[in-house]
Structure 1
Amino acid sequence: MSENLASWLIRFRVWVVGVVFLATFAMSFSAVKIDVKTVFQDLLPSDHEYVKTHNEFKDTFGGSNLVTIMVEVEDGDIFQPEVLGVVNNLTRELQKVSAVNPFQIISLASKKLKEVKASTEGIETKPLMWPEIPETDAELQELREKVLRNSLVYGPYVSEDLTSTLITVDFIDRLLDYETAFEEINGLVNNVSVPGVKVRVVGDPILYGWVNHYLPETLNLVLLAGLILVLMLFVLNRTWRGTILPIISGAVSAIWALGISNLMGIHFDPLVIVIAMLITARAVSHSVQIITRFNEEVEQIEDGSEEAGAAAHSTLSELLRPGMLGIATDACCVAVVALSPIPLLQKLALLAVVWVGTVAISSVLLTPVLLSWVKHPRGYAHPINVSWLMHRVLDLCHWVVVSRMRYVMLIWTAIVFLGCGYYALNLKVGDANPGSPILWQDSAYNLDSAAINEKFQGADRMFIVVGGDEENLAKKPEVLKSLQEFQRFIEVQPEVGGTLSVSDILPAVNRTLREGNPRFEELGSTQDINGELLYMFEAGAEPGDMDRYVDTARANASVTLFFRDRQGETIRTTIARIKEFVAEQNLDGAEYKLAGGLIGVIAAVNEVILSGQLQSIALALLVLVVLCTLVYRSSMAGMFFMVPVVLSNTVTFSFMAYMGIGMNINTVPVAALGIGLGVDYALYICDRIKQELRTGADDLTAIERALHSSGKGVMITAFVLIVSVLLVYQSSLKFQAEMGLLVALWLTVSAFTALFVMPAMAYIFKPAFIYGDRQDAV
Structure 2
Amino acid sequence: MSINSAINKIEIGIFRHRAFVLALFVITTFVLLYQATHLKLDAAFTKNIPLNHQYMQTYLKHQKDFGGANNVLISVCDVDGDIFNEPFFNALKGVHDQLFFIPGVDRIQVKSLYSPSTRFVEVVEDGFSGGPVIPASFKPSDEKGMAVVKANIEKAGIVGRIVADDYSCAMVTATLMEIDPNTGEPLDTLKIAEQLENDIRVKYESDKVSVHVIGFAKMVGDVANGAKNVVTFFAIAIAITAVMVFFFCRSISLTLLTIVCSLVAVIWQMGMLASLGFGIDPMSILVPFLVFAIGVSHAVQMINSVVKQVESGISCKQGAQNSFRALLIPGGVALLSDTIGFITLLSIDIGIIRELAITASLGVAMIILTNLVLLPVLISYMKLEGAKQPEASAKKKSNSSDVWHMMAKFATRGPATIILAIVAGLYAFGLYHAQNMKIGELHAGAPALHEDSRYNQDTFLITDRYAISVDYMSVIVETQPDACTSFETLEVIDRFQWHLQNVEGVQSAASLAAVSKIVNAGYNEGNPKWRVIPRNQQTLVQSIANVPTTSGLLNRDCSVMPVILFLEDHKAETINRVVNRVKEVAEELNTDQLTFKLASGPVGVMAATNEAVEAAQLPMMLYVYGAVILLCLVSFKSVRATISVVLPLYIVSTLAQGLMTALDIGLTVSTLPVIALGVGIGVDYGIYILSTMSLRLREGDSVKKAYLTALQERGNAVLLTGITLAIGVSTWFFSALKFQVDMGILLTFMFLVNMLAAIIVLPAIAAYLWPEKKAAKK
Cα deviation digits, residues 265-317 of structure 1 (max 9, x gap): 22211211333322321111111101101111222235xxxx11221222122
Equivalent in the alignment of 1:299? 311
Matches within 5 A, 1:333-372: 333-372=341-380
Aligned to 1:201: 213
8 Å CA contact retained: 2:110, 2:174: yes
2:759 maps to 1:755: yes
Distance (Å, rounded) in 2 between the aligned partners of 1:72 and 1:382: 74
For residue 215 of structure 1, report the CA deviation from its aligned partner: 3.0
Whether 1:318 and 2:330 are equivalent positions in the alignment is: no
Question: Distance in 1 between the 2:507 and 2:677 partners?
Answer: 39
| 1:39 aligns to 2:44 (yes or no) | yes
Q: How does 1:23-172 map to 2 (within 5 A)?
A: 23-121=28-126, 123-131=128-136, 132-133=138-139, 135=141, 139-151=145-157, 153-172=158-177
Aligned match of 1:239: 251
Structure 2: distance between partners of 1:383 and 1:480: 90
Distance apart, 1:438 and its partner CA: 0.5
- Please give the alpha-carbon distance, in whole angstroms, between the structure 1 residues aligned to 2:78 and 2:771: 73
Letter in 2 for 1:373: Y
What is the CA-CA distance between 1:453 and the residue it aligns to?
1.8
Identity of aligned residues (%): 26
Among 9, 15, 25, the residue aligned to 2:14: 9
- Aligned pair partner of 1:601 in 589, 600, 605: 605
- The one of 664, 671, 696 equivalent to 1:667 is 671
Q: Tell me if the contact between 2:701 and 2:775 (Cα under 8 Å) persists in the aligned partners.
A: no
Q: Describe the superposition over 1:460-516 as per-residue Cα deviations: whole angstroms up to 9, x where unpaired.
A: 222111123x32123321222222222222222343222222223323333333454
State the match for 1:466 in structure 2: 477
Q: Which residue of 2 aligns with 1:529?
A: 539
Which deviations, in whole Å up to 9, do the C-alpha atoms of 1:41-91 show, x marking residues without a partner? 122222211111111111221211111222334545333443333323222
Cα distance change, pair 536–431 in 1 and its aligned pair in 2 (3 A): closer
CA gap of 1:377–1:575, structure 2 versus 1, over 3 A, is: farther
Partner of 1:178: 189
Distance 1:487 1:133, change over 3 A: farther
The aligned counterpart of 1:481 is: 491
SS state of the match for residue 364, structure 2?
Answer: helix
Quick check: 1:43–1:344 contact (8 Å CA) kept in 2? yes
Check conservation: 1:73, 1:163, Cα contact below 8 A: yes
Change (3 A) 1:100 1:381: farther
Structure 1 residues 366 and 101, CA, compared in 2 at 3 Å: closer, same or farther? same
Q: CA deviation at 1:321?
A: 1.8
Contact 1:181 1:205 in 2 (8 A): yes
1:330 aligns with 2:330: no
Q: Distance in 1 between matches of 2:310 and 2:557?
A: 81
Q: 1:223-622 maps to which residues of 2 (within 5 A)?
A: 223-301=235-313, 307-379=315-387, 387=396, 394=404, 396-402=406-412, 404-456=414-466, 457-468=468-479, 470-538=480-548, 545-546=550-551, 548-587=552-591, 589-622=593-626
Q: 1:327 to 1:588 in 2, by over 3 A?
A: closer
SS at match of 2:660: helix
Pair 1:637–1:376, CA change in 2 (3 A): closer
Q: TM-score, normalised by structure 1?
A: 0.92
Contact (CA 8 Å) 1:479, 1:587: kept in 2 or not?
Answer: no
Summarize the alignment of residues 615-694 of structure 1 with structure 2, pairs less than 5 Å apart. 615-694=619-698
Specify the code of the residue in structure 2 equivalent to 1:603: A
After superposition, give the CA deviation of every residue in 1:194-244 in whole Å (9 maximum; x if it has no partner): 445433221111110101222322222222222222232223321134312
Seen in structure 2, the aligned counterparts of structure 1 residues 240 and 771 have a Cα distance that, compared at 3 Å, is farther
2:670 touches 2:743 (CA, 8 Å); kept in 1?
Answer: no
Structure 1 counterpart of 2:438, one-letter code: K
- 1:581 CA drift (Å): 0.9
Aligned to 1:212: 224
- CA offsets 1:581-633 (integer angstroms, 9 cap, x no match): 11111445221121012211221111111112012112221221122112222
Cα shift readout 1:712-761 (whole Å, capped 9, x = no counterpart): 10111222222222112211011112212221111101111112121232
Contact residue 432 and residue 662 of structure 1 kept, 8 A: yes
Mapped partners of 1:253, 1:387: distance in 2: 32
Paired AA for residue 295 in structure 2: A
Counterpart pick for 2:721 among 717, 730, 740: 717
Letter in 2 for 1:636: R
User: 1:63–1:173: 8 Å Cα contact kept in structure 2?
Assistant: no
Distance 1:262 1:45, change over 3 A: same
Output the CA distance in 2 between the equivalents of 1:537 and 1:763. Answer: 76
Contact 2:511 2:564 in 1 (8 A): yes
Unmatched segments (≥5 aa) in structure 1: 539-543
Distance 1:241 1:4, change over 3 A: farther
Cα separation, partners in 2 of 1:382 and 1:183, compared to 1, 3 Å: farther
Contact persistence 1:35–1:267 (CA under 8 A): yes
Which amino acid is 2:369 matched to?
I
CA distance in 2 between counterparts of 1:380 and 1:735 reads 45
AA matched with 1:202? I
Task: Quote the Cα distance in structure 2 between the aligned partners of 1:483 and 1:578.
Answer: 12
The one-letter code of the counterpart of 1:746 is M
Q: 1:222–1:728: 8 Å Cα contact kept in structure 2?
A: no
In terms of mean alpha carbon deviation, does 49-58 or 211-220 score higher?
A: 211-220
What secondary structure, in the 3-state scheme, does the structure 1 residue paired with 2:428 have? Answer: helix
Map 1:703-742 to 2 at 5 A.
703-742=707-746
Amino acid at match of 2:189: Y
In structure 2, relative to structure 1, the CA distance for the partners of 1:88 and 1:77 (3 Å cut) is same
C-alpha distance in structure 1 between counterparts of 2:592 and 2:746, whole Å: 52
1:115-142 residue CA offsets vs partner (Å, 9 max, x unmatched): 1134454643311124325556555444
SS in 2 for 1:245: helix
Classify the secondary structure of the residue corresponding to 2:83: coil
CA RMSD of aligned residues (A): 2.7
1:361 Cα offset (Å): 0.8
Deviations 1:639-695 (A, max 9, x none): 222122112211221112222221111222222122211211011111112234456
With 612-621 and 122-131 compared, the bigger mean Cα shift is at 122-131
Deviates more, 1:166-175 or 1:68-77: 68-77
Shift of 1:359: 1.4
The CA distance in 2 between the partners of 1:30 and 1:226, in whole Å, is 23
- For residues 280 and 156 of structure 2, what CA distance do their matches in structure 1 show? 47
| TM-score, scaled relative to structure 2 | 0.92
CA distance in 1, matches of 2:389, 2:444: 52
Equivalence for 2:184: none
